[in-house]
């Protein structure tokens, strides 16, 4: 269900954790490259409100302090929720009253052991910077083999003659675990592996969660997971999780030209969706683009067959490298397939995508509008070629993949039919 913010909507910030300067360092170095500056700024602003005892205000205040639109605030809030830094509640009786609960980030050790977060960070900042940041969170080890521990114990110094229990719901450092959904049944895969290779009694709940995260990040299927577990088992019949993570990364890079997986929106962000309740053909199309993931949309275009490795690389480039919103990617895929004889050619779609990125296209309606303009340019260009007139200036990608020789009646009708879908 959509809960669209208005500037007058009030909110209250509650601190569900203990926040300190180490958290600031973790948020800035580890989380910001993944969630972006707007989301981090929102987190710090809510944190500031707790520290200054101004826990209640309206969303217009956030717009004024952060100098960004309400849509961007909502997108930033969704990112904080998804990555485990915030929980949001809306009043059942008073619909314009929100409560935001602030949670602590994971510490360095927890973060780097989480394959979803560590891989996303590495993807965003590169190997060199990643290694530099890792070094900042590693504890220096001192060789104490030639030293004796002479530290006193509590009972050596203090005498406690009276004990009184203090009860209460005290603030403690609370964190939210990132939840992922996977289609592979990890327990089923483990049961397929012989006890001579893996001791099933040594598999903990945390181990299964870790494997599920690997599946989510690297897109592993059942058979691949089984093989990876077998080759990563050590002499103690336990899974070597450092080894299996490295093998997953190597396998993914081999299949994806050395690239690492990264995080992208699954579907169009709620704040960037159309608010219209009309049931026109165009509005139904907008809703479809907004509520379908690019992968599912491309599967639909492929008649629910398979997505090729080349198509997957194109989606990865559009979503992760260019960071286009999923709804915009859907419109782009639909547009290119229509004008390019149902072919997705990377260089061709890349040139159009960069043009849309420069135009700051964020919404489905905006993408459809720019696509319609390009359709009209093509229509005019075809007509002028027929009558021998000088063609208007068109985008540099116009003739890269499509060679238009003559606009006959059937082609003219095809263009008119395509335009109807965007009316």
Query: Which residue, 105, 130, 165, sits at the end of a domain?
Result: 105
- Residue 33, domain CATH: 1.10.10
- Residue 182, pLDDT above cutoff 50: yes
What is the percent of the chain with per-residue pLDDT over 70, rounded to a whole number? 84
**What is residue 60's predicted lDDT score, i.e. its pLDDT?**
93
Query: Which residue, 72, 88, 105, sits at the end of a domain?
Result: 105
Out of 154-158, 325-329, 371-375, the most confident range is 325-329
Flag whether 214 is in a domain. Answer: no
What is the band of 314 on the pLDDT scale with cuts at 50, 70, 90?
Answer: confident
Domain housing 80: 10-105
Flag whether 94 is in a domain. Answer: yes
**What is residue 403's predicted lDDT score, i.e. its pLDDT?**
44
32-41, 126-135, 240-249, 304-313: the lowest-pLDDT one? 304-313
Flag whether 204 is in a domain. Answer: no
- Residue 412, pLDDT above cutoff 60: no
Higher pLDDT, 283 or 410: 283
What does the pLDDT average to over 307-312? 80
Flag whether 62 is in a domain. Answer: yes
Query: Which residue, 105, 138, 156, sits at the end of a domain?
Result: 105
- Residue 220, pLDDT above cutoff 80: yes
What does the pLDDT average to over 110-132? 90
Flag whether 239 is in a domain. Answer: no
Flag whether 221 is in a domain. Answer: no
User: pLDDT for 329-388, tens place per residue?
Assistant: 999 999 988 888 888 888 889 889 999 999 989 899 899 999 888 877 766 666 665 555
Flag whether 156 is in a domain. Answer: no
Flag whether 380 is in a domain. Answer: yes
User: pLDDT for 57-89, tens place per residue?
Assistant: 999 999 999 999 999 999 999 999 999 999 999
* Count of domains observed in the chain: 2
Residue 329's Cβ-side half-sphere holds a number of Cα atoms within 13 Å equal to 29
């Amino acid at each position: 269900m959509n809960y669209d913010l208005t500037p007058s909507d009030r909110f209250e910030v509650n601190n569900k954790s203990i926040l300190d300067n180490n958290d600031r360092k973790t948020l800035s170095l580890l989380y910001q490259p993944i969630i972006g500056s707007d989301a981090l700024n929102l987190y710090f602003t809510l944190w500031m409100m707790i520290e200054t005892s101004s826990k209640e205000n309206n969303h217009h205040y956030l717009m004024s302090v952060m100098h960004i639109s309400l849509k961007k605030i909502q997108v930033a809030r969704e990112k904080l929720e998804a990555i485990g830094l915030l929980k949001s509640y809306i009043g059942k009786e008073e619909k314009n009253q929100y409560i935001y609960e602030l949670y602590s980030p994971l510490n360095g050790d927890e973060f780097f052991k989480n394959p979803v977060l560590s891989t996303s960070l590495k993807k965003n900042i590169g190997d060199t910077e990643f290694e530099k940041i890792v070094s900042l969170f590693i504890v220096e080890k001192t060789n104490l083999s030639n030293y004796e521990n002479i530290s006193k114990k509590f009972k050596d110094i203090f005498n406690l003659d009276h004990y009184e229990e203090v009860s209460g719901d005290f603030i403690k450092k609370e964190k939210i675990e990132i939840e992922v959904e996977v289609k592979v049944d990890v327990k089923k895969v483990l049961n397929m592996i012989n006890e001579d290779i893996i001791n099933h009694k040594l598999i903990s709940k945390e181990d299964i969660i870790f494997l599920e995260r690997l599946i989510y990040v690297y897109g592993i299927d059942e058979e691949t997971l089984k093989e990876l577990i077998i080759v990563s088992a050590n002499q103690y019949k336990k899974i070597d999780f450092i080894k299996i993570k490295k093998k997953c990364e190597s396998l993914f890079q081999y299949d994806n030209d050395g690239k690492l997986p990264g995080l992208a929106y699954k579907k169009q962000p709620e704040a960037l969706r159309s608010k219209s309740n009309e049931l026109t053909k165009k509005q139904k199309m907008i809703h479809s683009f907004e509520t379908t993931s690019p992968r599912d949309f491309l599967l639909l275009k492929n008649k629910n067959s398979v997505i090729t490795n080349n198509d997957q690389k194109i989606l990865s480039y559009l979503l992760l490298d260019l960071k286009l919103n999923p709804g915009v990617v859907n419109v782009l895929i639909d547009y290119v397939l229509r004008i390019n004889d149902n072919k997705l050619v990377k260089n061709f779609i890349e040139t159009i995508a960069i043009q849309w990125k420069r135009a700051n296209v964020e919404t489905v309606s905006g993408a459809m509008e720019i696509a319609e303009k390009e359709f009209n340019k093509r229509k005019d260009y075809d007509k002028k070629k027929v009558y021998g007139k000088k063609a208007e200036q068109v985008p540099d990608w116009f003739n890269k993949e499509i060679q238009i020789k003559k606009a006959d009646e059937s082609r003219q009708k095809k263009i008119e039919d395509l335009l109807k879908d965007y009316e």
